[in-house]
Each structure stands twice: as C-alpha cells, then as structure tokens.
Structure 1
C-alpha cells in the first residue's frame, strides 16, 4: 500500500530528525533507517525537503484533528471544548520540543519549509476558537476574535514554561472566567 509506505518514510524521517536535524539529514539516512534503497524512498517523496514538509504536515494535521474533535463535542461544556482546542496546540509543541533539540524545527513558523504549515495550523485553530466563542458568547467589550487571540497567546506562553501542560487547565479556567458570558457554557 502506497499510504503505508509513505507513513514508513515519514516515520523514518522523524527518526532521522531526532538524531540529525533537518539540515544534516540526507535521503540516504532516511533510506538506511527504513532499510531500503534511496531510490525506493524517492517513490514516495520528491526530496528530503518534501519528506520534512509532509512530516510537519502530518503532525500538524493530527493535532488539528484533535482540536476539531474537541471543538465539536456537543456533550462537553464550551469551556472544555475551548480547552481541548488549546490542549491540541500545546500537546503538539510539547511533543516536538521534548525528544530532541531538532524536533522543534518543525514548529518554526519562519522556516522556509514549515512556515506555511505552522501559520495555517494556527489560523485553523483561531477559526475554531472564534466559532466556539461566538457560540458561547463573550463578555461585553471582547470580540470572539480577540478572545481567540488571547487564548492562543496563553498557549504560546505555556509552551515556554516547564510545567505548561499542568498549568493549562487552571490557566484556561481563569482566563475563560473573564472572557465568557457567565452561564452553563462558561463552566
């Protein structure tokens, strides 16, 4: 199956990323990690850059799927749905900043290879949050887009804190108390 082999290429690319980083990884490294020839890898990706772009896309798409799932969970209060969207972003960053100093390269919005992916991911999260704030209602003087931007800024701040994952729940609870209209959705 082509999709399965592509997943293997991307898994090998991730493995190489953790060891060497984007610049030092070669197509030979990816092929050796897979146990195949370099020409076999070229059947699934056009170049090393293409492999890394697809890897970054896959990881961001997985996080976006988690965010979308949280956003549409009609059984959960709006505050929990918002927190779920934010957790998807924070989890992606923590996942990529932990195993190796090189994996965080996939998060660089200014990078030539990944900038568009990172920017689109944040824009998609922002749209999800705006819809949730429109549904829940924001306090007077706070537009849903502003509330979304504030929440994204909170997560960006938590990404830099050693205990950010643990702080997400109390931080969003406090923030949402000031952003959401009081009522059942704010809980």
Structure 2
C-alpha cells in the first residue's frame, strides 16, 4: 500500500470531516475530494470508518511524537519538558476545534470510532509525565502518577479556557512549582 496515496485518502477524509462530519461523509465524498473513483479509495481503506480511524490515529500519533520529543529533551529543564508534553495535547485539541465543529469527534474518548485511540493517547502522555515526575522528583505528598494526572487535568481544563495557549505557560509554572516542590529558576517570578 502506497503511503502517499493513503495520506491523500486521509487528507480527503479530513477535508470531508470538516465540511460534513463523520456521519454525513460518504466514500463517494472522499473519492470526489481526491478526484478518483470510489473503488480507488477502497484500495487504501476498508470503509469510511476505517478511513476516519486511521485519520484519528495519524493525528494522535503526530501529537504523541511532539510530546515524546519534548519529554526526551534532556537539555531542557523538567518544567519545560512537562509543558511540552501538555502543549502537544492542548495543541491537538485546539487545532481540531479551530478546523470545524465536526472535528471534535476525533478527540472524544466516548466516540465509538475513536475512543480507544484517544484513550491510548492519554495513557501514553500519562506515562511520559509519570517518567518525567519520577526522574525530577515530586514534592512530599505527591506520587509521580498523581502529579501526571493533575498535569493532564490542567491541560484538559485549559482546552475550554479563553487564550489557552497563553495560559499554558503560567498555569503549568504555578502547578509545577507545587508538584516539583521547589522554585523553578530562570523566570521573572522565580519559575522556569
């Protein structure tokens, strides 16, 4: 299977999703958007549900790559690494929300087609955060797993806040100062 053509199918599925939503999109819509026959689309995906599942997986995988890159950046302070993991989650949500009201389904953990993909993504982010908090050490009274859950809850809370990208830095700084149990050097207010 040619990955370039599969990417074209997924790009077309995304375009249709933004216009019609999952339920109203047909295989004919995807084919028309690509400029090919419906049978040509079937060479790369089994059906519409398969196309949308693969699309959701691709979007989540790309965000996870960004999160892993941030977590692995040993030259960066822990706070910056944690913020990078949270930014990957927040950016995925905000990009999909901005594209269309229909795209929110791709990040809905309750959605029949995408719930397992969304759940696995959140578990992977949680593992990255647990590892970071284990490595950095957490304040007395916080287990690394609890710190990871709190950090994810912060990102989820910011998803519906006004100016969430702007708030991510100060909100995560304040949260991490408490979770890591120390001032974070390098910021005007003592946070890094």
- Identify whether the pair has TM-score above 0.5, normalized to the shorter chain: yes
Question: 2:177·2:184 contact (CA, 8 Å) conserved in 1?
Answer: no
CA shift, 1:177, in A, is: 0.4
Question: 1:136·1:181 contact (CA, 8 Å) conserved in 2?
Answer: no
For residues 28-86 of structure 1, give each alpha carbon's deviation from its aligned partner in whole angstroms, at most 9, with x where no partner exists.
00000000000000000000000000000000000000000000001100110000000
CA 1:183/1:164 → structure 2, altered by over 3 Å: closer, same or farther? closer
SS at match of 1:175: helix
Distance, in Å, in 2 between the alignment partners of 1:184 and 1:28 is 54
Distance, in Å, in 1 between the alignment partners of 2:27 and 2:168 is 39
In the alignment, which residue of structure 2 is the partner of 1:36? Answer: 36
1:89 equivalenced with 2:64 (yes/no) = no
1:137 equivalenced with 2:151 (yes/no) = no
Distance, in Å, in 1 between the alignment partners of 2:162 and 2:14 is 24
- Tell me the C-alpha RMSD between the 2 structures: 1.3
Return the structure number with greater relative CO, CA threshold 8 A, min gap 6. Answer: 1
For residues 74-102 of structure 1, give each alpha carbon's deviation from its aligned partner in whole angstroms, at most 9, with x where no partner exists.
11001100000000000000000112110
Map residues 162-173 of structure 1 onto 2, 5 A cutoff. 162-173=162-173
Distance, in Å, in 2 between the alignment partners of 1:32 and 1:175 is 48
CA shift, 1:183, in A, is: 6.5
Map residues 8-47 of structure 1 onto 2, 5 A cutoff. 8-47=8-47
Question: Which shows bigger deviation, 43-52 or 1-10?
Answer: 1-10
In the alignment, which residue of structure 1 is the partner of 2:75? Answer: 75
In the alignment, which residue of structure 2 is the partner of 1:109? Answer: 109
SS at match of 2:22: helix
CA shift, 1:184, in A, is: 6.5
Distance, in Å, in 2 between the alignment partners of 1:124 and 1:21 is 27
Give structure 2 stretches of 5+ with no counterpart.
186-190
1:158 equivalenced with 2:158 (yes/no) = yes
